[in-house]
Structure formats: structure tokens, C-alpha cells
Chain A
Amino acid sequence: MNAQILLEFAINVLSMGSLYALISLGLVFVFGICKLVNYAYGEFITVSAYVLYFLGVFTGLPWLLVFLFGILAGVAVGFFSELVAFRPFRERSLDALLVTSFAVSVILQRLFQLGISPRSKAVPVPAFFNMNIQILGVITPLRNLLIIGTTVVLLTVLVLIMKYTTLGVAMRGASENFVTARLMGVPANLMISVAFIISGFLAGVVAIFWSARTGSVEPMMGGTPLLIGFIAVVIGGMHSLPGSVVGGYVYAFISNVLSLTLPSSLLSFRDAFMFAIVIAFLVLKPEGLLRGNYQEERVG
């Protein structure tokens, strides 16, 4: 019996952690290259989720194509938002970038409210996603295993790209030291575009599993994954890609443990505890669990 609870706990942590790892990876790709904390990232996810909703409800496309278009929508919104809103600020202060990403997020949210609906819409999910399966006596929906598998595949592909292709090496160089990388002939615009495209791609993948879990999409849905991404990124280390993945899993672990151990009267304060942990990390261990190779001055 005890082993079963432990296994259930492990599956929960792993599946949630995988989703959170993808979320925080999407944030860190952009942060690594242009040091922008992208508040509009949550809205990238929302855009993809809306595309899933529209294609799923109004067209009879096979689900694989629907997913593909959803991911493409994330890529497109990442690419174009960078082109329109962030590129003019390249040489400006970080605060201007931050404020802009906040403004972009507000604009997108209001556009969803105006153009689609302020109420939430049910997103159709392929039936096998919610099919319950049994592993060693633990019953879990198949999507929990799918997200773990997807994450493993995606991470492997990303690691291979980052390690063995010219683009990957250039990306890693640019995220360590952008100025030096440019001096070595790395094209700045391309790097930033690619970072936003990968970020949008990950947002698209996240949108599939997020809307499968919640079953719906609404204009404000980007908020929660964004906050989760923040926490995971800060815990894991903002300057390292593996760090953000680790951060995602650690976040899932802490949040599950808190859900189990906190007395019910304090359960509604769980988010406050999580963000208090974030503040503690930023103050006490600002480099996160995993250090990146290159440390920019962060304190002072």
C-alpha cells in the first residue's frame, strides 16, 4: 500500500514536473539570449490553446494536424511579437523591455477578451488522452505518461541540437556572452529570432498538455503557467538551460509535498509559500541550483 502511494506521488511529480520543465525552458531560452523576462510568455500559450480550440471544434482535422497547427501558432506569435514589439528595444534598458513585455501581455489578453470571449471555452481533447491506465496498481490518465515521454524526447532533441549543430553552439555562445558572440560573427537578429521561435514552440507543446489537463481555455489562462515558469526558473538557475529543467521538477516536487503536508486551513496560502521560497532563493542563492557557465553580475 505504501509503495503504491509512493509510486502515485512519483508519477504526479514526474508528469507535472515535465510540463513545468517545458514551461520554464521556454522562458529561459529567451532570457538567456536577450536577458528579457518575458511576461507575455503566458499569452503565447493562450494563443496556441485558442488555435487548438478553434481547429478542434470547428474543423474535422485529425488531432495530429490540430496539434501541429497549435504549435505553429505558438511559433508564429513568438516570432512576430519579437519582430514588432521587442526588436525596437534591442539597445534600450532592460526595464523598457520588461515593461513592453508586460504591455504586450495586456494587449493580447484584452484582444482575446474582445475578439473571442471573456468566458472560458472547452477544448476538445483526443479520447486516449484521458484514458485511465494501470501501472502496478496505480491508476493514472494516459496524458500523464505522454507528457513525460514528450518531454524526454524534446529534451533529447534540444540537447543534440545545442551540442552538435552550428546553430546550437552559436546559441549557447550568445547566451553566455552576447557581445563576444557577435564579435565572433554570430548574427544577433537570427539568434534572438530563433530563441523566440523555440520559446513559442515550447509554448505550443505546453498548451496541448495544459489545456488537456484543465480542459478549457480562457483569456487569462496564461497567468498560472507564467508564474510556475518564474518559480521554476528562479529555483533552477536563470542562466542555465539544464537548471530550468531541474527547477521544473523541483517545483513540482515542492508543490506536491506542500499540498500533502500543509493543513487544510493553510492550503489556500500555498502560492504565498511558493513565492516566499522564490524570494528566499533570489536572496540567498541567486545563481539557482545549477550554475551557468557565465555569471552576469546579479547582486548589487
Chain B
Amino acid sequence: MNLAKKLSNQQENIKQPAAKDISQYFDFSRKSSTVVILIAILVVIGYFIWWLNIPFIEDIFTAGTITLIMTLGFQLFMGNSGILNWSYVGYVGIGAFASAIFSMTPAVKTMQIPTMYPFLINLHLPFPVALLAGALVAMTVAAIIAWPLMRLSDAVGAITQFALLIVINVMLSQWSQVTNGPRTFTLGGKRLTTLWVALGVAVLVIIAVYYFKESSLGLKLRATRDDRYAARSSGINFVAVRYCAYVASAFIGGLAGGLYSHYILSITAASFYMSELFMILSMVVIGGSMSVSGAFFGTLLVTLLRQFLRQVELFLTRSGFEASGSTEIVVAVLMIIFLIWQADGITGGRELSWRSIKRRLPSGSKKRNKVLKNKKQEEKA
């Protein structure tokens, strides 16, 4: 397999001298350019929107950035392991509720959720610590239950994760002493997840997810995705590798959940179920589940599309048509079309890197053609 080859060549690649070219400043390790480009795009858009200072657009961007963190965490496990991870939104929910409980003041808690356990009421942490603590709770839950489930692949793996999502959802929606049961859980206070908070976390998560994928652990995981048996016979303990990725993915999910609850300020267990999962899944599938760039551009594209469709929907509803829900239909049809004709998404499963951009540029292709011509001439000679 290609990946197995890569694994063995990894050591040699590092020792190779860097190409002496102006572009080496952008190409400082072909791998890092992806991260730089993605972060640059995000920060430039974010800065521009902050400068525009229109609350409506700022809200869309902040929500979109939180969704980006969710999709990146989802891609971390699903993209690299090839297992459809339904339970992911469950961890997002756990993170959302846990961090909200940590950050709310005891006075607000007694007022909003009178049924809550006394020891939870007295817990109070500052927002950044609460965010981390919420993510740690989600991670701990994943760490406790995930080990035996990691053996299961394909349809069985997917059904297990599906069952797990339902277990988590029932817990979230029925445990009145913690999550206020099926009723709305209102955080009170002002919105703590601002544009810059979401952006900052997203930058960190892009770095983490990308370097996880490129690390030896990520490489091993991708090898198990491509061929379980070949990977196993190369000495990869696929349960352990999957376990690490799953737990890490739950951590990022929890983080995104915490940001979400401090952005939206009132949550219910139903906000972390099928429709949320469908949204994340559609982004990852349309962008290309195998690469971080895929998750990034999928989020960008689907968020824009959804906002556009929502406006159309609102317009139609105002002019008297019943149109609510048509956004999901369009996205679902688009997803099926992508799966049929472009199963690896718009990125084709590859990462966007400086080299891939250069290849597209006219000067780059000229140079490449020259090299190719020279080679051909050499062959002829």
C-alpha cells in the first residue's frame, strides 16, 4: 500500500536536504504549508468580518467557526479510521452541558435548574477552565467506554456507534438532576464565545488535527483504514490506534460543544442528535472526509449554502409558501450526488498545500512543463 511505503520512507524523507528554491520559504516542509494556508484563510475572513462589524454576519461567522471545530474533530476519527462515528455528536452534547454546568454561577443554577444535585450547584469555574473541563469530561466518558468498541468495523461498527449515540442522548434528555431533562437548559449571563474566542480555538484545533493526521499515530490509523489486515500484519495494534483517535476526537467534540453552549446560551439534548450529525456529516462528505482541508472547505461551502438557502426559505415562507426543511433536502441531495460522482469530495481526499497551488499557477505549470520537456529530451538522447 502507498501508506505502508510512506511509513517506511518517513525517516529517509526527513534527512533529505530542502530544495533550493525561493518557494522553500512557503514550502518549508511540504506538510506545514496546509496548516498555514488554512489558518490564513480563516484569520483573514475573521479579521475582515470583525472589521465590517455587522452583528448578523459576525454571528454567522462565529457559529460557522464552532461548526468547523466540530467537523474537524469528526474528521479526526472518521476520516482517518474510516468508521462512521455516529456517537460524536453525543460527545459534543456532553461537552456542551458539562462546560455550561462548570461555568454557571451557583445563583443562576439554583434558579434555572432547581432539580440539580447540590454538589454540582456549588461548582463554579472561570470560562476558559470550564471549557477545558467540559472537553475533559467528554474525553473521559469516551475513554471509559470506547476500548471494547474499537474492535468493530464496517456496518457493525456503525451500528455500535449509533446505539451509543442513542444511549448518550437518552441520558442527556432524561437526567433531570444534571441536564434539566427534556426541558431547555438556559445558561443565563452574556455570550462568552465571541468571534475571537471561537477563531482562536479553531486555529489550535486545525493545528492539532492536521499534525495528528501526519504523525506516526495518524499514519498508522490511515493504514488500518486502507487495509486492516495489511496494517495488522505490519505490527499495528489497530484497537489501540483507533482508541487514541476516538478519545482525541471526543475531546475536540467536547470543546466544540462547550463553545456552542456559551454561544447559543440555551440548549436541549435534542440539539445534539440526528439533524446535527447530519449537518456535520454532510460537510465532511461534501468536502472530502479523508483530508483536513476537506473538512475545512466542506464546512465553508455547506455553511454558505445553508445560509443562502435559509434566506430563500425565509423569503418563500414570507410570500406564503410552506418551505421549512427544504434546506436539508437540498443538502442531502447534494451529498448523494457527491457520493455518486465525486466520492472523495471537492478536495478529492488530498490536502491543499503550497505545492498543489503552485502547480495550478501558470508559472508553476510552465516550470513543470520545462522539467518534463527536459526529461523527455534526455530520454530521447
Interface set of A (CB-CB < 8 Å, partner B): 31, 35-37, 85, 88-89, 92-96, 98-100, 102-104, 106-107, 110-111, 113-114, 118, 227, 230-231, 234, 238, 268-269, 271-272, 275-276, 278-279, 282-283, 286, 298-300
Contact in complex: B167, A110 (CB < 8 Å): no
Q: When chains A and B are docked, how far (Å) is the Cα of A231 from the Cα of B163? A: 9
Contact in complex: B148, A98 (CB < 8 Å): no
Contact in complex: B162, A100 (CB < 8 Å): no
- Tally B residues with Cβ within 8 Å of A: 43
Task: Please give, as numbers and ranges, the residues of chain B lying within 8 Å of A35 by CB-CB distance.
Answer: 155
Interface 0/1 of B330-357, CB less than 8 Å to A = 0011011001100100000000000000
**Taking A35-B155, A95-B82, A300-B228 as contacts, is the C-beta distance between A103 and B167 under 8 angstroms?**
no
Task: Please give, as numbers and ranges, the residues of chain B lying within 8 Å of A234 by CB-CB distance.
Answer: 159, 163
Q: When chains A and B are docked, how far (Å) is the Cα of A35 from the Cα of B153? A: 13
Kindly identify which residue among B156, B164, B282, B340 contacts A286, using a CB–CB cutoff of 8 Å: B156
Task: Please give, as numbers and ranges, the residues of chain B lying within 8 Å of A298 by CB-CB distance.
Answer: 152-154, 156
Q: Closest Cβ of chain B: how far from A47's Cβ, in Å?
A: 16
Q: When chains A and B are docked, how far (Å) is the Cα of A286 from the Cα of B323? A: 44
* Closest B residue to A270 using CB positions: B170
Interface 0/1 of B352-372, CB less than 8 Å to A = 000000000000000000000
Q: When chains A and B are docked, how far (Å) is the Cα of A234 from the Cα of B323? A: 38
| Interface residues of chain B: helix, strand, loop or mixed (majority) | helix
Task: Please give, as numbers and ranges, the residues of chain B lying within 8 Å of A278 by CB-CB distance.
Answer: 159-160, 163
Q: Closest Cβ of chain B: how far from A88's Cβ, in Å?
A: 5
Tell me whether B66 is interfacial, beta carbon within 8 Å.
no
* Closest B residue to A107 using CB positions: B332
Contact in complex: B166, A272 (CB < 8 Å): yes
Q: Closest Cβ of chain A: how far from B267's Cβ, in Å?
A: 19
Residues of chain B in range 23-73 having any CB-CB distance to chain A below 8 Å = none
Task: Please give, as numbers and ranges, the residues of chain A lying within 8 Å of B278 by CB-CB distance.
Answer: 102-103, 106
Contact in complex: A269, B174 (CB < 8 Å): yes
Q: When chains A and B are docked, how far (Å) is the Cα of A103 from the Cα of B328? A: 9
Q: When chains A and B are docked, how far (Å) is the Cα of A268 from the Cα of B173? A: 9
Tell me whether B84 is interfacial, beta carbon within 8 Å.
yes
**Taking A37-B158, A89-B339 as contacts, is the C-beta distance between A283 and B152 under 8 angstroms?**
yes
Q: When chains A and B are docked, how far (Å) is the Cα of A107 from the Cα of B334? A: 11
**Taking A103-B336, A283-B148 as contacts, is the C-beta distance between A300 and B329 under 8 angstroms?**
no
Q: When chains A and B are docked, how far (Å) is the Cα of A52 from the Cα of B179? A: 39
Q: When chains A and B are docked, how far (Å) is the Cα of A286 from the Cα of B343? A: 30
Q: List 21 A-B contacts (CB under 8 A).
A: A35-B155, A88-B340, A92-B343, A94-B154, A94-B155, A95-B82, A99-B281, A102-B281, A103-B282, A107-B329, A110-B326, A110-B329, A114-B322, A230-B162, A276-B167, A279-B163, A282-B149, A282-B160, A286-B156, A298-B154, A300-B228
User: Besides A98-B158, A279-B164, 9 other CB < 8 A contacts?
Assistant: A88-B340, A93-B343, A99-B339, A103-B333, A279-B160, A283-B148, A299-B151, A300-B153, A300-B228
